[in-house]
Chain A
């Protein structure tokens, strides 16, 4: 496990990742266990409809809350799962370079035969793998819940929706990573990323209430996360690409800014 910076960085996240996986899969299972009591009550659909557009904004534009997809999308993929993936991304992204720099261990790490860009690459790679593992854990929780209540839902579609969440989380993780690499401040990196995350979420959910402003949602990563409804239709390649491209650009920002500045003087 201590062979290089990549494995070391992954190992540092091991314990927290473990609890994130436990938490997310438990959330999924427990939520899905409530499904049978929803499924037999189609009148709930009307109640939700009466709640109006604000509820729709937060729970997704779903006709049928009592179908398996409708239930999981409204209860998990509209809010909780993306929120937690974004939080995990920011947590691990801000902890990478900025965490190391604030704890003062960056000097020790970079006294080894490494290029700065190599440290960026390996730490970023470790974060990608951590996010992927969280995705796998989340998916297993969804499938386990579905099996327990004999829900009729495609495991592949569950995986595609989870991948979409992981891509969303990764793009905010990359934002926190880039801010941390550029400034070396963990708290700032996490705080600014979280603020942008909340703004992007609200932009995507509230702005469509005003029809004229609807196109504005296209600047929010949340639009590319769920507007194509991957749980129903599968992953939209263009939307997935938009999230990957955002991540790639932020990764390059991290590389360039970290290469240029004085380290450990903040």
Chain B
């Protein structure tokens, strides 16, 4: 069932109100077979609400969601059988050990290869013996990840999967995502971390205040990404040399320090700086707000 064509997730004018609060507004979205789809948005954007609708924990106020061609409400059980899920802020059965919990879930799901579970536990350096109550947040998250991957389902939906993971474990997670993708299976990930989405996703949907701002291939997002660069030179430099470079803006020179924002590739700016003696260089990570600015700012970020 993993091969074949069609939409894995399909949202049609999905709208959700919590009382007066509008959490989702008219979301139309399609996730295709075999892709890693990133659902990117700031806190409170509606990511968790969308995901919990797919498993029929939440009923849409209007609109409709299908998963693997199945209706999210009428066929909830079949969806749960074929799709695995990592809840955001996952709560586990605290009194069980990791092994007991995974055994329990494996029993409920059927078709879990226990060797693969052990293998996953090893990759995540996850000790399955202690009671879950005694685990640190990151180590709980690892148990959550193991249960989401262990049945090798055709679709995995994960709500902020790397929350609480240290960088090494994040890498392990990215590697696992690659493997799942190589097997032709589909992954849907929510996140508010831009570099993470850039790194592992094929396509990205950006959601803000319950509305889907855009759906793009990830390289488009990369092209629009902002880099905040700060150069410290041996002597002062003429600002106009930098201000007129393609994609560069907000150039400010103070003494021998130059600050600037680059949309897309920072190549031209770095090469221009190389004509002078550089004594220091700082690059600030792109924030989600920056990405939104790039999307909504008047001057076209694609001019380059």
Contacts and interface: CB of A to CB of B under 8 A. Distances in A.
Interface string B107-150: 11110000000000000000000000000000000000001000
B91 interface: yes
Given A2-B103, A108-B90, A114 B77 contact: yes
A179 B57 CA distance: 18
B91 A103 contact: yes
A104 interface: yes
A8 B105 CA distance: 11
Interface stretch (A77-85, A89-97, A198-206, A258-266): A258-266
Q: How large is the interface on A (under 10, 10 to 19, 20 to 34, 35 or more residues)?
A: 20 to 34
B108 A108 contact: no
Interface in B65-102: 76-78, 80-81, 84-85, 87, 89-95, 100
Contacts of B57: 106-107, 110, 262-264
Given A104-B89, A263-B57, A263-B58, A112 B52 contact: no
B107 A114 contact: no
Q: How large is the interface on B (under 10, 10 to 19, 20 to 34, 35 or more residues)?
A: 20 to 34
Given A5-B108, A262-B59, A105 B92 contact: yes
B90 A113 contact: no
A111 B84 contact: yes
Nearest to A103: B91
Contact of A2 (B18, B76, B91, B107): B107
Interface of A: 2-5, 8, 12, 103-108, 110-116, 262-265
29 contacts: A2-B103, A2-B107, A4-B108, A5-B108, A12-B95, A103-B91, A104-B87, A105-B91, A105-B92, A105-B93, A107-B87, A107-B90, A107-B91, A108-B87, A108-B90, A108-B91, A108-B92, A111-B87, A112-B80, A113-B108, A113-B109, A113-B110, A114-B80, A114-B108, A115-B76, A116-B76, A262-B58, A263-B58, A264-B57
Instruction: Give the 5 A-B residue pairs with the shortest CB-CB distance, closest first.
Output: A104-B91, A113-B81, A112-B108, A111-B85, A2-B104
